[in-house]
């Protein structure tokens, strides 16, 4: 059940009005990927926004609402944890945890056991609280 439903709803409505930002001329040449690159040419039509029908350019105003930034889709904040001490100062009611990818199995078990005891939302546990692989 997601928390912060109103904030997530606000973020999704803002995202609906955001254009798809595509790389200039990517629709014209197969060799160009569609992922965004800023147009920097002196006469570039997309940079100048000269002709209608050109895709939008990434600008500051298209960002998500400040209260909705860094939220996981579940509504919890996303916090990276590398050891048990990383759980200190976090609130289980609003903070979720993501265990660092370089953390080994033994330390991961300790973090998961402490997080489950504290009722944290874990986004990438990979081990159960009893220590078995999942």
Q: Which stretch of DSSP H or E encloses residue 61?
A: none
**36 has pLDDT over 80:** yes
What pLDDT is stored for residue 125 in this prediction?
A: 81
Q: Where are the domains of the chain?
A: 77-122
> What is the average pLDDT across 77-96?
94
What pLDDT is stored for residue 49 in this prediction?
A: 84
**107 has pLDDT over 80:** yes
What pLDDT is stored for residue 70 in this prediction?
A: 87
| DSSP string computed for 94-123 | TEEEEE-TT--HHHHHHHHHHHHHTT-EES
Q: Which stretch of DSSP H or E encloses residue 5?
A: helix 5-16
Residues forming a β-bridge with 122: 97
What pLDDT is stored for residue 132 in this prediction?
A: 66
SS3 76: coil
pLDDT digits (tens, 9 = 90+) for 43-54: 988 888 887 888
How far apart CA 44 and CA 33 sit, in angstroms, is 18
């Amino acid at each position: 059940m997601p928390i912060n439903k109103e904030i997530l709803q606000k973020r999704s409505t803002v995202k609906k009005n955001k254009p798809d930002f595509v790389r200039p001329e990517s629709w014209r040449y197969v060799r160009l990927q569609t992922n965004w690159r800023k147009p920097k040419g002196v006469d570039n039509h997309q940079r100048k926004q000269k002709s209608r029908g050109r895709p939008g350019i990434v600008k500051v105003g298209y960002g998500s609402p400040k209260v909705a930034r860094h939220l996981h889709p579940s509504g919890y904040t996303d916090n990276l944890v590398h050891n048990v001490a990383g759980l200190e100062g976090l609130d289980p009611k609003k903070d979720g945890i993501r265990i660092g990818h370089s953390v080994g199995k033994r330390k991961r078990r300790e973090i998961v056991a402490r997080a489950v005891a504290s009722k944290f939302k874990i986004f990438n546990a990979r081990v159960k609280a009893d220590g078995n692989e999942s």
